[in-house]
Structure 1
Amino acid sequence: LEIILVDVDTGLPVALRQALRLELVLLHAKFPPAGREKWSRKEFDENIVKERERTHFLLTGDVSLTMKDGRAVVGWLWLTGKSYGDNGKFRIGSRVVPGTFDGARVHEAITNPLLNVGVSVTHGILDSV
């Protein structure tokens, strides 16, 4: 998975002089509402799936990235738990780490809805979860 910074007006890749610190988060599948391609930072933050008490992080792996020359590569991600609501569907979002960039707003990025199809191994038997 590669995250590329693009100019909203031209759709062309943009390389900033400054490296950006990014974080990946788990989002509800129904975000954004149907037909909307723009949202506020507050709306994005309100749709981040929060971890429950006494559980591990829901999304682990390469969740902290550095974007250089307008590009960041995700090595691997791991989802913990079995259900994220919305019938097991979710999105992965990317945002600039709050407080680390003072330039123009860099709009958050989101994937299409994904289905959590987990697999576990118990006593040598492969089970779908």
Structure 2
Amino acid sequence: MTLIQAALTVPAHMLPGGIHPQATSFGFQELSKTRTAHNTPVDLVTFTFSSPKATTNEDHFDQALEHFLWHLAKGTPYQVDKSFSDPAINECQSYHYKNNALTMRRAPLCDILSTNSAY
């Protein structure tokens, strides 16, 4: 199982000073940024990582993601998509705080934000 692509989605207004991740820190060679409007109260920004380095693995990506999230305000909802060489194990997980506890759902962030006006 090889991680071949990954994406991080966060509310656009939660990126302090337009901070963005570095592809190499996450084990990838390329990074694209897309801002989209959904049926949510806020626009979302998606960072898509592609062209993994030969040494890239899921643990490395997860550690870099955790480090990057320290730059965002506590409670920032986010979505992580991971694509693997075996499509049967691809993941889409969204994280948000509910009752002051971090919760995870296997649903797109735009769906969660459209049903929770106060995230």
TM-score of the superposed pair, with normalisation by structure 2: 0.32
Q: Based on CA coordinates, which of the two structures has the bigger radius of gyration?
A: 1
Higher strand share: 2
TM-score of the superposed pair, with normalisation by structure 1: 0.30
Higher helix share: 2
